[in-house]
Amino acid sequence: MRVLNILLLGSDEPALQQMAKILRDEGVQVETSHNLVDAFALAGQAWDFLLIDLDGLNSFTRSLLPSICSSFPNLPIIGIARRPGVDTGRLEADYGRILDAYVCGIPRPEELIVSFPQVAAKYVCETGTLRTRGTRPLFS
CATH of the domain at 97: 3.40.50.2300
Classify residue 54: in a domain, yes or no. Answer: yes
- Does 87 reside within a domain? yes
pLDDT score, position 36: 63
In a domain, 116, yes or no: no
Q: How confident is the model at residue 134 (pLDDT cuts 50, 70, 90)?
A: very low
Question: In total, how many domains does the chain have?
Answer: 1
Stated pTM of the model: 0.76
Tell me whether residue 133 is in a domain.
no
Does 44 reside within a domain? yes
Give the separation between CA 2 and CA 4, rounded to whole angstroms: 7
Structural domain containing residue 69: 5-108
- pLDDT tens-digit map of 2-13: 678 888 888 888
